[in-house]
């Protein structure tokens, strides 16, 4: 009976993981794609501006967590193909991070002060899943992206009608999340147990409530 190869954990990969964490948390985020909605109007009252800032702070925190999840999964991936998939997805999530960061700046708002905690927790989850199997790791991608898709749909409903700039950003992000979930499922993602999916939803709700304000 053939056993899956153990993760190839090298010093170079550890240094790469540390560099990824520092870049995600402390370096200005950059995007390989043009930010959506640059030409769209966004006329907001002070109350609407504060509300949208809270939503985008949550989305920015979510993208920090997504970076961490993918980086943790890439670090301990069993196969080179899975590792490359995780790193490609992380790069696209990096675009989302940059768009959220830019929008926060436009709104005169700051990112969540709890971002280091979101990163550490998500990295640990991603690494733990990958250490068990690539199928389980891909299952976390599929379920995470499904939940994020629903989360973004809820945010789109809560956006002021006049903020087309933010709406285009979230719509593009949502489209990417759907594609990531389908790609992970096509690679043989395992179906997560109901209690794991419920725990992920509870964790997401906690992060959403805290990041909106802090």
Is the residue at 162 inside a domain? yes
Residues in the chain: 214
Q: What is the pLDDT of residue 1?
A: 42
pLDDT tens, residue by residue, 54-106: 999 999 999 999 899 999 999 899 889 999 999 988 888 899 999 999 999 99
- Residue 42 pairs in a beta bridge with 163
Q: Is the pLDDT of residue 130 over 80?
A: yes
Is the residue at 1 inside a domain? no
Q: What is the domain extent for residue 58?
A: 11-22+45-213
Beta-carbon contacts of 125 under 8 Å, excluding residues fewer than 6 positions away, are 69, 72, 140
Q: What is the pLDDT of residue 172?
A: 95
Is the residue at 37 inside a domain? no
Is the residue at 102 inside a domain? yes
Q: What is the pLDDT of residue 19?
A: 75
Its pTM stands at: 0.89
pLDDT tens, residue by residue, 17-45: 777 777 788 778 888 889 998 888 778 99
Domains contained in the chain, number:
1
In the chain, the N- to C-terminal Cα span, in Å, equals 51
Is the residue at 82 inside a domain? yes
Give the residue-averaged pLDDT of 125-139.
91
Nearest to 151 by CA among 70, 35, 66: 66
Is the residue at 2 inside a domain? no
Is the residue at 140 inside a domain? yes
Q: What is the pLDDT of residue 207?
A: 86
Give the residue-averaged pLDDT of 126-155.
91
Q: Is the pLDDT of residue 4 over 60?
A: no
Cα distance between residue 81 and residue 96, in whole Å: 23
DSSP assigned state of 10: -
Q: What is the CATH number of the domain that holds 139?
A: 1.20.1260.10
Q: What is the pLDDT of residue 9?
A: 63
Phi, psi of 42 (to 5 degrees): -150, 75
Q: What is the pLDDT of residue 29?
A: 86
pLDDT tens, residue by residue, 150-206: 999 999 999 999 999 999 999 999 999 999 999 999 999 998 889 988 988 888 888
Is the residue at 32 inside a domain? no
Q: What is the pLDDT of residue 20?
A: 75
- Are 60 and 100 a contacting pair, CB within 8 Å? yes
């Amino acid at each position: 009976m053939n056993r899956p190869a153990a993760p190839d954990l090298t010093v170079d990969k550890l240094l790469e993981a540390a560099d990824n964490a520092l870049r995600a948390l402390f370096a200005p985020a950059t995007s390989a794609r043009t930010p959506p909605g640059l030409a769209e109007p966004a006329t907001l009252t002070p109350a609407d501006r504060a509300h949208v800032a809270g939503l985008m702070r949550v989305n920015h925190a979510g993208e920090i967590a997504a970076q961490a999840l993918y980086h943790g999964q890439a670090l301990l991936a069993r196969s080179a193909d899975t590792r490359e998939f995780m790193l490609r997805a992380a790069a696209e999530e990096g675009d989302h991070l940059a768009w959220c960061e830019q929008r926060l700046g436009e709104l005169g708002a700051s990112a969540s002060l709890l971002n280091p905690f979101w990163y550490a927790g998500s990295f640990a989850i991603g690494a733990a899943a990958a250490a068990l199997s690539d199928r389980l790791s891909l299952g976390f991608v599929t379920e995470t992206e499904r939940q994020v898709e629903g989360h973004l749909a809820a945010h789109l409903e809560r956006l002021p009608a006049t903020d087309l700039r933010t709406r285009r950003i979230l719509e593009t992000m949502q489209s990417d999340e759907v594609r990531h979930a389908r790609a992970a499922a096509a690679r043989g993602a395992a179906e997560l147990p109901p209690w794991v999916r419920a725990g992920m939803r509870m964790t997401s709700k906690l992060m959403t409530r805290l990041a909106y304000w802090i």
